[in-house]
Amino acid sequence: MAAETDPFGVPEQRKQSRLGSGKGGALALLVLVSLGCTASRPPAATAPPKEHPRALGSWANGVVFYEVFVRSFQDSNGDGKGDLPGLISRLDYLNDGKPETSSDLGVDALWLMPVFASPSYHGYDTTDYERVNPDYGTNEDLTRLCTEAHRRGMHVIVDLVVNHTSNQHPWFIDSASSPDSPKRDWYVWSPTDLGWAQPWNAAGSSWHKKNGAYYYGLFWAGMPDLNLRTPAVRAEAKRIAEFWLARGVDGFRLDAARHLIETGPGDGQSDSAETHAFWKEFAAYVRSVRPDAVLVGEAWTETPKIAPYYGATDVVPRGDQLALNFDFPLAKQVVQGVNMGEALGIAQTLREIADAYPPGATDVPFLTNHDMRRVASVFKGDPGKLRSAAAVLLTLPGTPFLYYGEEIGLLNGTADGDEAKRTPMPWNGTAGGGFTTGKPWYRFAPGQETTNVAAQTGDPRSLLSHYRQWIRARHASPALSRGGIRVISGQGPVLAFVRTQGQERVLLIHNLGSEPQAVSLEVEGARAEPLLATDGASGTREGGTVHATLPPYASAALKL
């Protein structure tokens, strides 16, 4: 099969398949996609493995990431704010470094939301790139976190915000002090208000008055944009990256990756050629310092505009710009598809990815993140939908990311602000939730008394156990962790696809709907052996056909 010989390409021959279903039946939609991955889970060692002297982050392809808002994960000193020592104390929950155990979640890598000095709770307005936020601990605590994570076989990446700083950063204070300041061109200044609206808000201005001139700040006045046309600023961004890579960090999540260098209003505020050129330059420098470091881009846009952020995959494996890029369109379709019980949007997006992404690109699927309404709130806490979304996410190609608390069905808080998307992690049902002995910096989300880690630990039917099962199935299967994909059903409530890596092929069948489904699929192979089936799903082979029965929201993984 083409996907076996060319795991990064799109097979030319598209085989016909047949799908029969129960209520809400579907006509099979055949989509051939291949998104390559080349590694599964890093070994329990401090030094990450290397695959290619020019390839960024070879270890990251196919692993499972976990996004952490440090302020909300675990408090170690009773001040109500999560911190790095607290996170270290919870590492065994995430991965205990013992493959033979099943009591940990089993994730392979952590993404820490901003941990550098900042005047805000969220940290995206940095005031010192070389110092950990005192609320979270010290630089030594971050190094110790990396060491402890590496010892358990996990990697750690941190948010690096190079698009803008805080308006309280010493660089900006200096820049704003005078047109003759040596750092004047470290930011973007104009003698007049150029009147550029924010791309997503026609009523929001991007130019802000200060000391008789106007500076550019895309997001708001408190976050002035750095001028990355200035060589000294570009050099400083590289130096900061090297500073943290030398202290144990394994890479960076890159905020606002589309908006670094603007050429004018409107479309000129996103995806400029100069922005792509900077990422190519930055990635080359990171490769020269740490070839195994990984760069993850946040380009919140549509598939055709995300694809160029990989760069040239024929020059550098997986791309000479950003080796990983969050797949916002696929996240939308997975959540919407599960919520509506309709697989078509997911299948169409997978086809779009195959057409747009360069050969060898590694996709980054996820459900929600810190800027989005939590998936449990979208589903109104529906346990079947939560289980279905988890199973789909963890069987897709690429490098999936989980948002902390997703694995227990954590809801949004009751307010409308971003803080309500980033509430404290409920470890148990007590007043402090096991998160703090003091007063939490923000109130827990509704349902904390029952939606917590302690309540779900040891319950084989819990959502937490469900996540653990699928993560372990992914680790156990080269096809699931790093194989290509061929979608054979993508209409109606049934999503079915085959993942292939080398000689291993795994058939995944997901019932996204609230009614049972009886499915017949024509697939190659002499046998169909269960890898994992949830919620009573079952499958058998008769000749060239696999017959499966799937209760509502059930999933099955069958080795062919």
Residue of 138, 47, 56, 141 whose CA lies nearest to 91:
141
- Residue 218, both tokens: 């895309």
Q: Is 5 exposed, middle or buried (0-12, 13-18, 19+ CB in 10 A)?
A: exposed
Domains in the chain, please, with CATH? 2-35+481-559 (2.60.40.1180), 58-166+230-478 (3.20.20.80), 170-216 (3.90.400.10)
pLDDT in tens, the chain (560 residues): 333 222 222 222 222 222 333 333 332 333 333 333 333 333 333 333 334 434 556 799 999 999 999 999 999 999 999 999 999 999 999 999 998 999 999 999 999 999 999 999 999 999 999 999 999 999 999 999 999 999 999 999 999 999 999 999 999 999 999 999 999 999 999 999 999 999 999 999 999 999 999 999 999 999 999 999 999 999 999 999 999 999 999 999 999 999 999 999 999 999 999 999 999 999 999 999 999 999 999 999 999 999 999 999 999 999 999 999 999 999 999 999 999 999 999 999 999 999 999 999 999 999 999 999 999 999 999 999 999 999 999 999 999 999 999 999 999 999 989 999 999 999 999 999 999 999 999 999 999 999 999 999 999 999 999 999 999 999 999 999 999 999 998 989 999 999 999 999 999 999 999 999 999 998 887 677 888 888 888 888 787 888 989 999 999 999 98
What's residue 526's pLDDT?
67
Distance between first and last Cα of the chain = 13
Report the predicted TM-score, pTM, of the whole model to 2 decimal places: 0.90
What's residue 55's pLDDT?
53
Distances (CA, A) of 321 to 123, 256, 475: 25, 15, 27
What's residue 129's pLDDT?
98
Residue of 513, 516, 506 whose CA lies nearest to 549:
516
Which residues are known catalytic residues?
A: 255, 298
What's residue 322's pLDDT?
97
